[in-house]
Structure 1
Amino acid sequence: MTPITEVEGRRIPLSNLEKVLYPATGTTKGELLHYCASVAGALLAHLHNRPVSFLRFPDGPAGQHFFTKNPPPGTPSWVKIAEVPRSAGQVARQVVVDDLATLMWAANLVVEFHTPQWQADAPARADRLVLDLDPGAPASVVECCAVARWLRGRLAADGLHAYAKTSGSKGLHLLSPLEPTPSEQVSAYAKTLAREAEAALPELVTHKMAKALRPGKVFIDFSQNAAAKTTATPYTVRAKERPTVSAPVSWQEVESCAAPADLTFLIGDIGPRLERDGDLLGPLVDLDRAGRLP
């Protein structure tokens, strides 16, 4: 029998709580749901008013993965849905995770949360810039940190504040809060930054996606600023071998990173980090920190 829990007055069936999703750590689905509930304050702040894309992995990271932007079959009637413009004048419908009940319903589907750089009521007007630093082996997050330090200074020169989080995979994401700006302008600016970084750090950086150019270098993926693209939401758990989290990190941690393990965080690490540091990406939702593109 599927247990039913009540969250904020909503009845939510939670299934297969004992199922081991991550054999490498023995992490169960119940533990994954507990994690989402325990970090809900921080996670919901970054999901707020953004249409969500789900990467579902119901049988764990080794099972089938499927990416969905449409509301999944069986979505309850009380879940908030946003209408999102698509190309050729079409409109799509996507879930917005704005409360704890919706978060727990979605977490029960076993998902990574991915969100665009704009809010549901202002499509294609980005309120944040993202630079995805993706290392090509043998480069690792250590090299990403070196690139991130250069980019932080470059953004500061344009009056923009930069904040970092792990991707939850191999790399690092840099984010900068913006006054709402057309996504295409943000994309163009991000591409310029990536090219400048490559010119300044040619041994370390490529701004081109070609696999042949990437061994030992950090690819700066600026394309996630495009209105149609999404990025892993802060605090989401990833469908990797272990339950790694896309975790905010301090600049002190970026500067002192000497090995990938220094910036690898599992679900059990996040609660204590939030208690100690608060939400290190809190400034992303602070309008006073929002910058303007030059």
Structure 2
Amino acid sequence: MPGKTPTQVDGHLLALSHLDKLLWPGFTKGEALHYLAMIAPVLLPHTAGRPASFVRFPEGIDGPRFYAKNPPPGLPEWVGTAPVPSKEGPKRNVVVETLGDLVALGNLYALEIHVPQWTTTGGPERHDRLVIDLDPGPGAGMAECCAVALLTRERLADDGLTAWVKTSGSKGLHLYAPIAGATGEAVLGYAKRVAQRLERDHPDLVVHKMLKALRTGRVLVDWSQNSTSKTTAAPYTLRAVDPVSVSAPISWDDVEAGLAGSELAFTPDEVLHRVERHGDLLAGLLDPRAAHALP
């Protein structure tokens, strides 16, 4: 097969194509697939059971990109899907649960994976995670995000919720707290109240409204990511940004270091080394015993 490399993955034969194509400056499609294969043991538990959507960029990050919830064209039939409600009726979304799923999607340039805060088992009206997206405005940066992350962690802890954190893979941070199943509306309302209280207590640092004009020098505490229809970059996913980056789980010690000016941006190789040293820093998020009811 010209330009294709037949490869056995999880018992399936995949024709991997254009492995030497540069998708990021200095980072090829082949390197991206290698990263996916190596990171799969810690990535897949965070996508399993969740209907995925993707950012596809077949011509690299400088070319056209496509955000898709439908299975990418050419996806092998053996990749798992699940029905997801929509205004037009149930639609099938990919559920990324195996190494084969992950590599097959990557081979079709679906390299940035997003998932919602609910599973196909619980359904869209039973969320099992809360997410807070910290997005720095102009004049703010990672240090400010780290300061708000620590304040948010403290606020959640006051309500009996334990938070874990990862980089967005772009400019900000994502905080997660496992919850005992709640409706999307309840989680959204709670997250908004947390954001409003943080803004009230720290008006020079935090903003909860989406208006860009309000964000200068402050961090948006984006509570809206808890909407049932929205998705967030999955832990360990590659991001379509320059330079190549990963949405990487970090520790609260890392956040403290970021507050002091440490860079919190990680390449795929750096993330693999961190996993080798520390394991999955978000593993606790998957423990059912960590889930608590919303206040």
Confirm whether residue 22 of structure 1 aligns to residue 59 of structure 2.
Answer: no
Change (3 A) 1:258 1:181: closer
Q: TM-score, normalised by structure 1?
A: 0.97
Deviation, 1:258, is: 4.5
Corresponding residue for residue 113 of structure 1: 113
Match of 1:91 in 2: 90
Instruction: Write out per-residue CA displacement over residues 231-251 of structure 1, whole angstroms, 9 at most, x where no aligned residue.
Output: 000000100011100000100
1:161-202 deviation line (CA, Å, top 9, x unaligned): 001100000000000011111111000000000000000110
Amino acid at match of 2:75: T
Moved more, 229-238 or 5-14: 5-14
Equivalence for 2:8: 6
Q: Which residue number corresponds to residue 52 of structure 2?
A: 52
Q: Which residue in 2 is equivalent to 1:61?
A: 61
Match of residue 227 from structure 1: 228
Matches of residues 137-176 of structure 1 in structure 2 within 5 Å?
137-176=138-177
1:19 positional shift: 0.8
The Cα shift of 1:87 comes to 3.0
Q: Which residue of 2 aligns with 1:288?
A: 289
Contact kept, 8 Å, 1:237 with 1:246, in 2: the verdict is yes
1:70 and 1:95 in contact (8 A); partners too: yes
String of CA shifts for 1:139-173, please: whole Å, max 9, x gaps: 01110110010111110011100011000000000
Task: Give the number of aligned pairs.
Answer: 291
How many angstroms does 1:68 deviate by? Answer: 0.5
SS in 2 for 1:263: coil
Is the Cα contact below 8 Å between 1:232 and 1:246 reproduced in 2?
A: yes
User: What are the equivalent positions in structure 2 for 1:201-240 lying under 5 Å apart?
Assistant: 201-240=202-241
Deviations 1:38-69 (A, max 9, x none): 11001101110110001111111111111000
Q: Is the 8 A contact 1:22 1:243 kept in 2?
A: yes
Asked if structure 1 preserves the Cα contact closer than 8 Å seen for 2:72 and 2:108, the reply is: no
Q: Which runs of 5+ in 2 are unaligned?
A: none
Alpha-carbon distance in structure 1 between the residues aligned to 2:156 and 2:259: 24
Asked if the contact 2:75–2:105 (Cα under 8 Å) also holds between the matched residues in 1, the reply is: no
Aligned mates of 2:87, 2:150 — CA distance in 1: 37
Partner residue in 2 for 1:37: 37
Q: Secondary structure at the match of 2:169?
A: coil
Q: Give the equivalent residue in structure 1 for 2:76.
A: 76
The aligned amino acid for 2:78 is W
Give the Cα separation in 2 of the matches to 1:71 and 1:260: 41
The answer on 1:103 being equivalent to 2:102 is yes
Tell me the residue number matched to 2:181.
180
Identity %: 51
Partners of 1:177 and 1:283 within 8 A in 2: no
- Distance in 2 between residues matched to 1:258 and 1:200, nearest whole Å: 19
How far apart in 2 are the matches of 1:185 and 1:260? 36
Distance 1:183 1:114, change over 3 A: same
Asked if structure 1 preserves the Cα contact closer than 8 Å seen for 2:239 and 2:245, the reply is yes
TM-score of the two chains, using structure 2 as the length reference: 0.96
The runs of 4+ residues in structure 1 deviating greater than 6 Å are none
Q: Tell me if the contact between 1:33 and 1:104 (Cα under 8 Å) persists in the aligned partners.
A: yes
- Contact 1:55/1:68 (8 A) holds in 2: yes
Secondary structure of the equivalent of 1:257? helix
Which amino acid is the alignment partner of residue 279 of structure 1? D
